[in-house]
Structure 1
Amino acid sequence: MNGVMERLPGFPALPELFGWVEGGIPGTHLPAGLHGIRVEEHLKEGIYVLRAELPGIEPDKDVEITVEENVLTLRAERSEEKTEKHRTEFRYGTFARSVRLPSGAKGDEATAQYKDGVLTIMVPVPEEKAGTRTIPVRRG
């Protein structure tokens, strides 16, 4: 298995199963009432793209996105409807996730869009040009 733990189909990954913070330190748990956010990320044509699963929220009032010291933090809150339920597996409360942005990312130029329960955040990451520099040699 080359040191990689495979999971059986239909079973959640260990961090998800035990409520650990994905991408965090194994064995650490989220505080009570705080839930993790499932994300996927990729870099495409100079843009860092983070997609987050956030079904059932009002993005204009329930989501806060901040960037501080090259760390993007996403917080959302979903309130529980006050009806008597026979059963619920929905999660309510505060959801949060922080990710480190790639080097050179322009967090102050980030944009976000919410569609079909998925929040997409895009952050420009300019390509660094590796120019040639001539170093003069002085006589000593």
Structure 2
Amino acid sequence: MTGMIERLPGWPALPDLFGWVESGLPGVHAVRALHGIRVEEQLADGKYVLRAELPGIDPAEDVEITFAAGVLTLRAERSEETTEKHRTELRSGTFARSLRQPAGAKHDEATAEYKDGVLTITVPVPEAKKAGTRTIPVRHL
């Protein structure tokens, strides 16, 4: 080998494969697709903070945040329309992400803010009491 990647005969190149995955299955035209949301989580100072990248959405209309059974679920929907001289293209998709919350998270006190394409959700979490280390002796019978 000379440092180049060789393809087996009949196998597509990786960029072609990635293009196929992004465009979907041939012959199937989905109106809505489910995508992931890039997030950053942090637990510090008695609060859980989730930052999610959601550029180009209207947070009042296109975002839903729910809590159930210790799981925060974030859903967002985006529609985009591009118009050229003789062509209009519509693209839409639903984005979703579910994340387990720390024990004791106070969901009824959660807040959410949207600025510059980033949604920040803050959930108060009581600090866990630190248990001391205890050594348990083993009895020999």
Q: TM-score, normalised by structure 1?
A: 0.63
**CA offset at residue 83 of structure 1?**
2.0
**Correspondence 1:60-99 to 2 at 5 A:** 60-81=60-81, 83-84=83-84, 92-99=92-99
CA contact under 8 A between 1:57 and 1:78: conserved in structure 2? Answer: yes
**Correspondence 1:32-111 to 2 at 5 A:** 33-81=33-81, 83-84=83-84, 92-111=92-111
After superposing on structure 2, the runs of 4+ consecutive aligned residues of structure 1 that deviate more than 4 Å are: none
Alignment partner of 1:102: what SS? coil
Distance (Å, rounded) in 2 between the aligned partners of 1:75 and 1:84 = 30
Q: Larger strand proportion, structure 1 or 2?
A: 2
Q: What letter matches 2:52 in structure 1?
A: A
CA contact under 8 A between 1:70 and 1:101: conserved in structure 2? Answer: yes
Structure of greater Rg: 2
Q: What letter matches 2:115 in structure 1?
A: K
Cα RMSD for the two superposed structures: 2.4
> Identity of counterpart residues, as a percentage?
71
Q: TM-score, normalised by structure 2?
A: 0.63
**CA offset at residue 56 of structure 1?**
0.1
How many residue pairs match? The answer is 100
**CA offset at residue 73 of structure 1?**
0.1
Distance (Å, rounded) in 2 between the aligned partners of 1:34 and 1:84 = 27
Structure 1 runs not aligned, ≥5 long: 1-17, 20-31, 133-140
**CA offset at residue 122 of structure 1?**
0.4
Q: What letter matches 1:123 in structure 2?
A: V
Structure 2 runs not aligned, ≥5 long: 1-20, 23-31, 133-141
**CA offset at residue 108 of structure 1?**
1.8
